Amino acid sequence: MNRTFTSPIFVITALVGLFLLSACNTSPAALTEKQQMTTRMGDTAAVEVVDMRSVVRNNLLTAQVTVKNWGPKPDKATGEQKPDTNLYGYRFKWLNASGMAVFSDEVWKPLTLTRDQSADLVGIAPTPDAASFRFEINQYK
């Protein structure tokens, strides 16, 4: 075996190189499945998507999304609670097996959650073609 490859300097250099390469390869925190299936518009950071699940019931995909409104974060300087004045709306977007949207867009429905309140939002697909869904949430006021 060539002595060059077994020399301590080569081994250390190779290890450092590998370490640096792996460091460069590190990407930002990968999106979770819930994040991938959620589209946010406006300032909706206070509303957390806690859980998402779906089941085919009587031939139609039924989705359930659990959300919780934590309210706005307290003021950094004073620590005082800010009033929860944001109003949110939500809707489901139904997709077929190839990811194409099926049916026309749903109406935005008001999300009536006070601070620290959670709710299970249920949506039923309009046609049996729907194979998956996306949850959309927006701040409308």
Residue 63 CB, nearest distance to other proteins (Å)? 11
Amino acid identity of residue 123, one-letter, is G
Residues forming the site for other proteins (CB under 8 A): 57-60, 62, 87, 89, 91, 103-110, 123-128, 140-141
Joined together, the tokens standing for residue 55 give: 């089941």
Residue nearer to other proteins on the CB measure, 31 or 100: 100
Residue 139 CB, nearest distance to other proteins (Å)? 11
Contact criterion met (CB below 8 Å) for 133 and 127: no
Q: For residues 113 and 36, give the distance between their C-alpha atoms in angstroms, rounded to a whole number.
A: 23
Residue nearer to other proteins on the CB measure, 71 or 123: 123
135 CB-side CA count, 13 A: 27
Residue 82 CB, nearest distance to other proteins (Å)? 20
Residue nearer to other proteins on the CB measure, 52 or 125: 125
Residue nearer to other proteins on the CB measure, 77 or 107: 107
Reported as type and span, the H/E element at residue 137 is: strand 132-139
Residue 66 CB, nearest distance to other proteins (Å)? 19
Residue nearer to other proteins on the CB measure, 118 or 139: 139
CB-neighbour burial class of residue 47 (10 A; exposed 0-12, middle 13-18, buried 19+): buried
Residue 103 CB, nearest distance to other proteins (Å)? 7
19 CB-side CA count, 13 A: 6
